[in-house]
Chains A and B, each alone.
Chain A
């Protein structure tokens, strides 16, 4: 199962700098009395009054301080709906959380303070003796009589908690009480805009609250409906307000929240996936015509507990060709029938995450051939067999049912029907995931040879065990033989009975594969020899029987690896590290960057006290010679002593305590075997030849650590706190899964284990080395210190962003390419600026944006442009938006020259001179990011798609993969600052890390917060505030 990210936080902490919002007089800068004076909320009012300073309210409501006033009520509604309640298993019986209780208490206290502030809305205390009523409301009292030494002490802890938490300037008040300047603090009401009018919302509240604020705080459904409507474009939501009306929509607020953002009404019609030609089919499905939007929407939301709405939403997000195929009348109905099956329960609109990511991944992953038919990897035949194979492995009712049908399949659609059905299974290694993964591999192979039916079957039937390893095949187009041999080698290793031998084999095998991937990705293993070198690297692992054999296999595999990458079978560890750091460079800056990266790897290997390959190989050779009767070299004894150089930290616990408090999981057999190595003794005592030969097997655990350590060091994001502060981090990697109490994770993506287990020796990874960059980023995110404390957006978003910065390297990027990335973004901006005054161009621009924007943002950008506010429109666009806009515009309108922009001219000239360097395919690979969750591949690419929502099992991971703006923006900054392209290898990880520190988000899908932090980081960089970055290098001419 993928990690289900449910926020453990009852409180979302947004800590302000102490002096936030205060001027020198203790006056809040944003809390001046509202222009309207005391608010008299009318039903027709389009604003609501927030008691107290806005920053205090945002703080208590867990809303980012960086949001605009327009966003306050929608985000409040979101937080109340999502964070304010816990539910029973069926998603019913909302029970208020501490978050909501505190927020309500704060509002009550703030209203009391507004009363105290009076009509001028200022709390004014001139002397100590006036402070009594205020202090009582705040929950404080004087610790001693008024005078220069007095200070405040808590009298009512609950009130005092709210006072401090909301950021009341208590220290300024304390100064006044000691005889300082009079205390003045603006404490009025703050007006923020409301969608529709207060009356519309208050009518929904059965408790007849006086204020929308109270209605949102007291009714989860009202809060959720408000949040849902706020993400629907303005025209559509206005239409829906009138008909069917908020009251009718209220029972469907959850479905509307999850699946309503794609609903758009234009000219009295619902825009349905597939367009006009699909309207009839949708009408039949929903039982209402898209021409009667009110009826269509209520039917859509109500049908099958919301499944039709989920289907509508999923299909709305895929491209037009896929929509056309999926909405062919028969397909639309049969796929939906398969999706819903015999039971619509559980529905798709239960809190807190959308459940069916598979539906969207399947729909967007369908590849169509020239005739518009779906391409099935290997054809139908292997899949029929796979389904029958699965029947043996998986006894779920759904799998049994569809396996039975498979024998009669004659069309690809029948296979797809089963996949729609399987999308309901909440699994990460189910049949749908197998299909998507094999599909991704087949797509990668398509440039050479497609997957053979036998390979498809082999991959699909082994998916449950080895599926996470398939990321290699979807990144590197290896042939059928290479894939098959990998599975055979993996099966052989998996069958080893000796636990330690199996663990070491797993570790060395996967480490060598990891090194092969790095070298292949960096072009140091030429593409023409990928298959040959791959097969040579894995072949030695086909017959492991003992540690000595494993030692030989490992060396043989390493020899093949470096033969393929350096042309030499034997190279030193220093040369290995140089190879990993990057391909050899000719420019001074290239050599400098490569050396810095190599030194970083060396420091990490040293911090982990890993024995060098040179030592391990020399010891192995020496033991081999000794076993043949030769005298040991004098060098062997000091070399063997290096095996014992690492030390465990001084124990803090007794053995008994450790056993009791670490649940027995601290016992690390791998470490124990290293601590007890007899190699030094054997070299000194020279026992029998057999014993000496066997001693080479004792080198295996050390060899494993060194090879694994090289992988870790390569992928470590900036910081690398665990590497530098837990000397056993690499050694603790558990390949056997002994420390995991769940399933066997030997071939799965590694999981984090031991976090928060104080007697467990620190966190470590359990599982294979696939997905290592992501998991190391997950480790590191725990150490990132946010500038604005908020833990949202972190859990899955941050590792994805960091992986996108660490996994790609930029050794082969030319200055022309780098500059082109800038020009694309500038050209996109030129287009947007011109679209503000040119209606025809605006139509074209918006047409392109319609493929990558949700209706609400589309409408906002279009409105800004229609009103001639190009700058406001640009402020909403990400670097990826402008980049894709320019790229698509050049494709669609190659001859158009809107307004004669400079960037367009320069781009055209550059593209004409260097067509290969500026090809879309090349830019996409060089500046794209991996999409392992969305596309089942680590291959880098740029995908023009709408942002994904959060999903159960993925949290914000899909959303993060659809972001794609970072590398494009950092490249532009580097270009504008005159950095050479190789410098991106240092800049991108550091800038991304800094961007993460700057994120101040309110909720998991807070796209706007990402954009803000990106821009803030860019400004810091441009202003030279990021001191540890290398200085710019003067730019040579293009």
Chain B
């Protein structure tokens, strides 16, 4: 064998803290190219509910146990509800008692990211403009506008739309008026390439740190995507981005779409809603808003794990002495991705954030 070429997997998982930038290097005096491994922190957004579906609040890092492929992971940062995450230190006998420390430091300057310490969430709303009946279209815009108005003041919102093509109507920002203007300016389209659009949205969301969620408002089955829902789901899981899906009755009538929407949302830690009437759509948005306000954010550096394939994540909650049954909703796992340093061409359609974004 002549020259050797090493390509090592670059992991890009969730929120980055203590960011290490992957850099291809040229070995002096040879043509060997080395792509360094960068292992990032894994972030989980976790919803905990009791038997009656009520959110369980007031939990601390000591109440959570996180496993990856059965390996117990050490929680590195913890955040509750819309508060900024804080680092976790271990003290006490055997260094096993977790304690909340300082707020997590910002990302390095120039990283073009929202600081990891930012409170609130980055919410990417993806609106299906394909083949709408006019009645539904106008009312759906009302529901989305109301959702944007009612988000927490610390949240940032991006508004995208899709039919056959994807369109970034309003990049991520903290100005509701700008987003509302974009919502009100959306026009109807033709075919629906939902999974292509989700792919772009995930790639955009991956450029930011902190809690990120995608809220899809879909009118019906996908009929134009090139990528499969499996590929999109895996990307969402790898990036740690929950996907919430709100669908109209058209989608519910299609068993395939129903299955996909439910499974994608569940396995990424989100939820699926089928809302035939506009009032149900508003309820669905209200439910998502409530979810956003009650999520725990748990971050950890994966312990050494030889598995480069699918890694299963399990989260347990322990509170009080007696056995309590809680429902835990978070992503079910992820697969480390192999990605080039950049797959983008020239376009930089995502406008840089204003300097004070996420720092209220």
Given contacts A599-B33, A719-B344, contact A18 B3 (CB under 8 A): no
Surface stretch bound by A, among B66-74, B85-93, B210-218, B258-266: B258-266
Do B2 and A649 have beta carbons less than 8 Å apart? no
Surface stretch bound by B, among A85-93, A318-326, A722-730, A911-919: A722-730
The CA of A153 and the CA of B143, in the complex, are separated in Å by 9
Closest to A9 in B: B190
Closest to A994 in B: B346
Q: Mark A771-807, 1 if CB is under 8 A from B, else 0.
A: 0000000010011111101010000000000000000
Do B161 and A15 have beta carbons less than 8 Å apart? yes
Do B7 and A603 have beta carbons less than 8 Å apart? yes
List A contacts of B271 (CB < 8 A).
none
A1007 within 8 A of B: no
Do B230 and A160 have beta carbons less than 8 Å apart? no
The CA of A68 and the CA of B3, in the complex, are separated in Å by 58
Do A758 and B257 have beta carbons less than 8 Å apart? yes
Q: Mark A597-628, 1 if CB is under 8 A from B, else 0.
A: 00110110011010000100000000000000
Closest to B4 in A: A574
Given contacts A572-B2, A721-B343, A990-B345, contact A758 B256 (CB under 8 A): yes
The CA of A151 and the CA of B149, in the complex, are separated in Å by 10
Do B231 and A718 have beta carbons less than 8 Å apart? no
List A contacts of B193 (CB < 8 A).
756, 782
Q: Mark A567-602, 1 if CB is under 8 A from B, else 0.
A: 000011111001000000000000000010001101
Surface stretch bound by A, among B54-62, B175-183, B294-302, B318-326: B175-183
Tell me which of B135, B161, B230 contacts A157 (CB under 8 A).
B135
Tell me which of A571, A756, A1028 contacts B223 (CB under 8 A).
A756
Q: Which residues of B in the span 234-275 have a Cβ within 8 Å of any Cβ on A?
A: 234-235, 255-257, 259-260, 263-264
Do B138 and A139 have beta carbons less than 8 Å apart? yes
List A contacts of B186 (CB < 8 A).
15, 164
The CA of A761 and the CA of B228, in the complex, are separated in Å by 5
The CA of A774 and the CA of B166, in the complex, are separated in Å by 22
Q: Mark A274-307, 1 if CB is under 8 A from B, else 0.
A: 0000000000000000000000000000000000
Do A165 and B226 have beta carbons less than 8 Å apart? no
Do B187 and A652 have beta carbons less than 8 Å apart? no
How far does the Cβ of B250 sit from chain A's closest Cβ, in whole Å? 15
Q: Mark B25-37, 1 if CB is under 8 A from A, else 0.
A: 0100001010000
Q: Mark B334-345, 1 if CB is under 8 A from A, else 0.
A: 010011101111
Do B338 and A762 have beta carbons less than 8 Å apart? no
B358 within 8 A of A: no
A737 within 8 A of B: no
Do B338 and A607 have beta carbons less than 8 Å apart? yes
Tell me which of B224, B260, B335 contacts A755 (CB under 8 A).
B224
Given contacts A650-B230, A785-B349, contact A657 B1 (CB under 8 A): no
Chain B interface residue count, Cβ-Cβ cutoff 8 angstroms = 86
List B contacts of A785 (CB < 8 A).
165-168, 200, 347, 349
List A contacts of B4 (CB < 8 A).
574
How far does the Cβ of B301 sit from chain A's closest Cβ, in whole Å? 24
B156 within 8 A of A: no
Do B226 and A650 have beta carbons less than 8 Å apart? no
Given contacts A15-B185, A657-B259, A758-B256, contact A602 B33 (CB under 8 A): yes
Do A758 and B225 have beta carbons less than 8 Å apart? yes
Given contacts A18-B185, A661-B256, contact A575 B3 (CB under 8 A): yes
Chain A interface residue count, Cβ-Cβ cutoff 8 angstroms = 85
Closest to A167 in B: B185
List A contacts of B191 (CB < 8 A).
8-9, 756
Tell me which of B185, B221, B345 contacts A164 (CB under 8 A).
B185
Do B263 and A652 have beta carbons less than 8 Å apart? yes
List B contacts of A243 (CB < 8 A).
none
How far does the Cβ of A596 sit from chain B's closest Cβ, in whole Å? 10
Q: Which residues of A in the span 98-151 have a Cβ within 8 Å of any Cβ on B?
A: 139, 151
Tell me which of A175, A779, A993 contacts B345 (CB under 8 A).
A993
Do B231 and A726 have beta carbons less than 8 Å apart? yes
How far does the Cβ of B206 sit from chain A's closest Cβ, in whole Å? 12
A200 within 8 A of B: no
How far does the Cβ of A170 sit from chain B's closest Cβ, in whole Å? 5
A19 within 8 A of B: yes
Do A652 and B347 have beta carbons less than 8 Å apart? no
Q: Which residues of B in the span 121-154 have a Cβ within 8 Å of any Cβ on A?
A: 129, 131, 134-139, 141-142, 145-146, 149
List B contacts of A11 (CB < 8 A).
187-190
Do A574 and B5 have beta carbons less than 8 Å apart? yes
Do B184 and A722 have beta carbons less than 8 Å apart? no
The CA of A161 and the CA of B131, in the complex, are separated in Å by 13
Closest to A612 in B: B5
Q: Which residues of A in the span 709-738 have a Cβ within 8 Å of any Cβ on B?
A: 718-722, 724-727
A496 within 8 A of B: no
List B contacts of A578 (CB < 8 A).
31
The CA of A970 and the CA of B17, in the complex, are separated in Å by 41
A371 within 8 A of B: no
Total A-B pairs, Cβ < 8 A: 238
How far does the Cβ of A534 sit from chain B's closest Cβ, in whole Å? 26
B310 within 8 A of A: yes
A354 within 8 A of B: no
The CA of A789 and the CA of B137, in the complex, are separated in Å by 18
The CA of A951 and the CA of B6, in the complex, are separated in Å by 49
The CA of A146 and the CA of B328, in the complex, are separated in Å by 43
Closest to B24 in A: A599
A1005 within 8 A of B: no
A4 within 8 A of B: no
A425 within 8 A of B: no
Closest to B192 in A: A756
Closest to A646 in B: B309
Please indicate which of the listed interface residues A59, A599, A600 has the most CB atoms of chain B within 10 Å of its own CB.
A599
B219 within 8 A of A: no
Q: Mark A47-61, 1 if CB is under 8 A from B, else 0.
A: 000000000000100
List B contacts of A595 (CB < 8 A).
26, 31, 33
The CA of A727 and the CA of B338, in the complex, are separated in Å by 10
Q: Which residues of A in the span 991-1021 have a Cβ within 8 Å of any Cβ on B?
A: 991, 993-994, 997
The CA of A789 and the CA of B167, in the complex, are separated in Å by 7
Do B165 and A154 have beta carbons less than 8 Å apart? no
Closest to B180 in A: A171
List A contacts of B345 (CB < 8 A).
718-719, 990, 993-994, 1028
Q: Which residues of B in the span 89-139 have a Cβ within 8 Å of any Cβ on A?
A: 129, 131, 134-139
List B contacts of A761 (CB < 8 A).
228, 230
B78 within 8 A of A: no
Do A161 and B166 have beta carbons less than 8 Å apart? no
The CA of A994 and the CA of B344, in the complex, are separated in Å by 11
List A contacts of B33 (CB < 8 A).
595, 599, 602
Please indicate which of the listed interface residues A14, A19, A170 has the most CB atoms of chain B within 10 Å of its own CB.
A170
B209 within 8 A of A: no
Tell me which of B1, B184, B256, B342 contacts A170 (CB under 8 A).
B184
A1033 within 8 A of B: no
The CA of A786 and the CA of B165, in the complex, are separated in Å by 8
Do A719 and B343 have beta carbons less than 8 Å apart? yes
A487 within 8 A of B: no
List A contacts of B188 (CB < 8 A).
11, 13, 161, 165
List A contacts of B224 (CB < 8 A).
755-756, 782
A925 within 8 A of B: no
Given contacts A15-B186, A785-B165, A994-B347, contact A726 B259 (CB under 8 A): no
Interchain residue pairs with CB less than 8 A apart (24): A9-B164, A15-B185, A15-B187, A157-B138, A158-B135, A161-B138, A165-B187, A578-B31, A606-B338, A607-B339, A609-B338, A649-B234, A657-B259, A719-B344, A722-B226, A755-B224, A756-B193, A756-B222, A759-B256, A761-B228, A785-B168, A789-B189, A791-B164, A1028-B345
Known: A139-B138, A157-B137; 8 extra A-B contacts, CB below 8 A, are A9-B164, A161-B188, A572-B3, A647-B309, A756-B222, A756-B223, A763-B225, A782-B225
The 8 closest A-B pairs by CB, nearest first: A718-B345, A9-B190, A157-B135, A18-B181, A160-B138, A762-B228, A649-B230, A161-B134
